[in-house]
Structure 1
C-alpha cells in the first residue's frame, strides 16, 4: 500500500517502531533468555496461540522473560518496546504501577513466601514476543505483571490490537510529602464520579444499578467476552452480570456537561495507546453503569459499554483503595478479527 493511501498511518508508524524495539531487545538476549522471551507467531489452534490469549492481572507468572532476570541494558531495551505501545501518559502510569510494588511491600510488612524470595517484586513483570518482529507474518508482544497487562498485535504492517489493556493500583492512593498523594489512576476515577454526581436524580437512578459494588471487574481475565445470549455473572453471585447488550444509562440522554465528562472519561482509557492507533469511538453510543457509593474513598464500580467497547473499573478492596481498570474490544481483543481477515486474504481455503 502507498503510505499516502494508508487510512491509519500512525498504526503503521507505531508498528515500525515496535518491530525495531522488539528486534533490538531479542538480539540483546542470550539463548536461555530468548527461550523464555519468544514464542511462535499467532496461528489458530496452536499451543503458542493459546499462550498468547492467556492473560492475568494478579502477581503470578505471566509468561515470558521477567525484568528481574535481565541485565540493565536488556531491561532498558525491554521498556523501550513497552513504550512503543503506550502514550507518554500511559507509559508514565505503567511505570508508576510497577513502582507501587515497593510501596505495597512495605504496607504488607515485607512478606516472604509464595515460592519466591520477594513476594511483592517490581522485577516480576514479564515480556514475551510472539513471532518475528517486522516480518510479513502477524506478530505481537505481551507485557504483564501485577496490575499490568498489555497485549499488542501487528498484522500486515499495522498495529491492529492493543486490548485487553489492564491497569490497576494498590494502593490507589498513597501519601506524598507536603500533603500530596500519589494516585496513578485518580484522574480517571474522579472523572467517572463527577459524571455520575452531575446527573439529575432521575438519570442517576438509571445509571446507579446497585448500592453495593461487585468485588472485582466482572469480565475478569476471560480471553473472550460474552456474545449473544451468553452471560458472565458478576463476582458476587451475578448481581451485576456482563451481557452483550449494555446495562445502565444511554449516553444519548446526557446533557452537554455530561457528554463532555463522558468523552473525557473515554479518552482517559483510549489515550493509553499512542495517538492515531485506536479507531475512534462515538461516546454518544455508550451506556454508563455504576454500582456502590458515589462518595470519594468509598468502594465503587463503573462500566462503559457499547459497540466494540467495554471499560470496567472497580475500587473495592482495602476499603476502596485498590483499583482495577480494564479496556477491551469485544470484536478485536488480541486481534482475532484482524487475524481472520489476514488468513482469508492470504491463506484461503
Structure 2
C-alpha cells in the first residue's frame, strides 16, 4: 500500500509538472516565433488582449469574413517554420496534421472546382463566384492578443476557412477552446485526390457508435427533426446548449461506452499530451456515465447526419450535410463549457490579482 501511494503521488506530481512545462514551452516557442517577425509584421499581428474581437470566430472563408492579424501566406519562410513549431507545441501529431491538411484542402478544393468547370458541371459564372470566396493554403490569419507570459493573460488565434484555433493563457494555465475544424469536401470525389478524407474518424466513429446501439437505444438517441444546416453553436447561434438530448452513457453497455470514449478522444487527442490529459481527466472526474449522445439524420455515410455529445463540462458538435445534401461537408467543434476563450482561467486570474 505504501508503495502504491508513493507511485500515485509520483504520477500526480509528474502530471502537474508536465502541464506546467507545456505552458512554459508554449510561451517560449511563441516568443521565438515573434522574434522572426519584422516591425510591420509585429504591428499587424499584435492586438490588445481586452479587444472584444479576440472572442470572435468564424469558419467562413476570408472572402466573406476578413480576419484580424497577419496573413499566414505573407510570412517569411523563417516565420512559417517557427509558426509550425508553435502548432506542434500546442497540438498532437494528429491535431497538427488535421490543421495542415485543412489548409491544403483549400488548394485541393480550388482544383476540384476548376476540374468541375472543365467537365462542364459548373458554369463560368459559378466558378467566378467561388473564386471570390478567396480560399487557399495561405489565407489563414494569425493574431496575438497581449504578450506571451506565464503570469499575465494573453492569447493566440489562427483563423480561416474551416478552422478556428483559440489559445488563451494566464498563470501558467491555458485553454484551446472553442476549437473548430471543418472539411469541404469531407471526401474528395474527383481529381487525383479522390478518396482523401481529412476528418475521417469524426465521421467513422460516429457511425460506429450509432449503429452499435440496439433498436430501442437508437430510438432514444435519435432526434426526430431535420439535420441542421450547420452546427447549432455556430458563431451566429447560441454559445452553448444547456439541455441534454439523446441517450445517456449510463444506459449503454461496456462496448458502446467504449465507442463513445473513442469518439470523444478523437477530439480531445488533437491537443498535445498535457492539454489532452487535463481535458480528459476532467471529463472522467465528472463521470462518463453523465454524458449524453444524440443523433439526427441517416445512419449511413454519404447522407446528411449530425450528432452532439454533451457532458457536464464539455460539448462536441458535428454536422455533415453538404451543398447537395450528399453528406460531404463536415463542421465539428469541441468546447469546454466554462473554458471558451479561457473564461474560467481568466476569472481565477482576475479574482487573484489586482488590475
Taking structure 2 as the reference length, what is the TM-score of the superposition?
0.84
Which whole-Å deviations, capped at 9, do the CAs of 1:220-242 have from their partners, x for residues lacking one? 0269724xxxxxxxxxxxxxxxx
Q: SS at the partner of 1:190?
A: helix
1:330 corresponds in structure 2 to 337
Q: Deviations over 1:274-300 (max 9, x none)?
A: 113233213321100100101111110
CA distance in 2, matches of 1:223, 1:142: 20
Question: Residue 25 of structure 1 corresponds to which residue in structure 2?
Answer: 33
Paired residues of 1:172 and 1:185 also in contact (CA < 8 A): yes
Provide, for residues 149-179 of structure 1, a one-character-per-residue CA deviation record: whole Å limited to 9, x for no partner. 11111211232x1100011111111259999
1:64 aligns with 2:76: no
**Equivalent residue number for residue 126 of structure 1:** 141
- The aligned residue for residue 97 of structure 1 is 102
CA distance in 2, matches of 1:269, 1:222: 22
Closer, same or farther: CA 154–254 of 1 in aligned 2, 3 Å = same
SS, match of residue 22 in structure 2: helix
Measured in 1, the distance between the counterparts of 2:244 and 2:337 equals 12
CA distance in 2, matches of 1:300, 1:249: 17
Task: State yes or no: 1:53 paired with 2:34.
Answer: no
Quick one: distance in 2 between partners of 1:63 and 1:74?
18
The residue aligned with 1:301 is 306
**Partner SS state of residue 302, structure 1:** strand
Q: Is the 8 A contact 1:82 1:143 kept in 2?
A: no
Which of 320, 330, 350 pairs up with 1:343?
A: 350
Structure 1 moving runs of 4+ over 4 Å = 4-7, 110-116, 175-180
Q: Find the counterpart in structure 1 of residue 272 from structure 2.
A: 274
CA deviation string 1:181-213 (max 9, x = no partner): 211111121111111011111110010103531
Higher helix share: 2
Q: 1:176 to 1:263 in 2, by over 3 A?
A: farther
Structure 1 residue 72, shift from structure 2 partner: 1.2
User: Could you tell me whether the CA contact under 8 Å between 1:212 and 1:293 is conserved in 2?
Assistant: no
Match of 2:3 in 1: none
- For the structure 1 residues 23 and 223, does the alpha-carbon distance in structure 2 shift closer, same or farther, using more than 3 Å as the test? farther
Map 1:225-236 → 2, pairs under 5 A: 225-226=239-240
Equivalent of 2:89, from 80, 84, 87? 84
Residues 177 and 162 (structure 1), Cα distance of their counterparts in 2 relative to 1, 3 Å cut: same
1:229: which partner in 2?
A: none
Unaligned runs of 5+ in 2: 1-11, 116-126
* 2:260 counterpart residue number: 262
Residue in 1 aligned with 2:159?
144
The residue number in structure 2 matching 1:37 is 45
**Counterpart in 1 of 2:118?**
none
Matches of 1:153 and 1:223, distance apart in 2: 22
Say whether 1:166 aligns with 2:186.
no
Shift in Å, 1:347: 1.7
Matched, 1:188 2:190: no
* Contact 1:207 1:248 survives alignment (8 Å): yes
- Does 59-68 or 292-301 show the bigger shift? 59-68
